[in-house]
Chains A and B, each alone.
Chain A
C-alpha cells in the first residue's frame, strides 16, 4: 500500500513542477520525475504477496512468482523515457542558442 502512495506522490510532484515552473530544464526534471512515478506504479500493480522474482533456478520448481508482464513493459518504458529526454534536451540547447534565455515567458514574448 505504501508503494501506491509513493507512486502517486511522485506523479503529483512531477505534474506540479511541469505546470508551475518556468525554466525549461526544471520542466524536464519534472517530466523525469513523472515518468519514474508511473513506472513504479506499474511494477507495484504486478506484485503478488509472498512471490519471488520470475527467474527459475536449479533445484526449485513451482514456487509462486510475481507477474512478469508489467516488468517487460516497464523495461521498454524506461528506455523510451531516456530517448524522449535526450531529444528534449537537444531542443533546449537549440532554443537557448536562438533566444538567449530559457525562461518560457520571455520566449513566448519575443516571438512577435
Chain B
C-alpha cells in the first residue's frame, strides 16, 4: 500500500519538474518518467492491457517524436 503513495508522489513531482525545466529535452524526459509511473499505477488498478499500451506508447514513442521535433526547432525555451 505504501508503494502506491510513493508512485503517485513521484508522478506529481515529475510533472512539476516538466513545468520548471528550461531545457526542453529535460522536460520531455520528465514527462516520460510521469508516463512510466502512470503505467505502473494502471497495473495496480488491475488493468494489464492498458498498462502495456501506456508503457509502450508514453515512455518510448512520444518522447522519441518530441525529441525529433525539438531537433528541427529550437532546443531551449524562449
Residues of chain A at the chain B interface (Cβ within 8 Å): 2-3, 5-6, 9-10, 13-14, 16-17, 21-23, 25-26, 28-30, 32-33, 36, 39-40, 43-44, 47, 51-55, 66, 71, 74-75, 78-79, 82, 85-86, 89-90, 92-93, 96, 101-103
Contact = CB atoms under 8 A, between A and B. Distances in A.
B41 A10 contact: no
A20 to B, nearest CB: 9
Contact of A3 (B45, B49, B57, B69): B45
Contacts, number: 122
Given A22-B78, A36-B38, A92-B73, A52 B46 contact: yes
A26 B31 CA distance: 11
B31 A6 contact: no
Interface in B4-26: 4-5, 8, 11-12, 15-16, 18-19, 24
B53 to A, nearest CB: 5
Contacts of A6: 8, 11-12, 41
Residue in A21, A28, A89 whose Cβ sees the most chain B Cβ within 10 Å? A89
Contacts of A14: 15
A45 to B, nearest CB: 10
Contacts of A32: 31, 35, 58, 62
The 5 closest A-B pairs by CB, nearest first: A6-B8, A96-B73, A89-B69, A53-B46, A23-B77
| Residue with the highest number of chain A CB atoms closer than 10 Å, among B15, B34, B38, B53 | B15
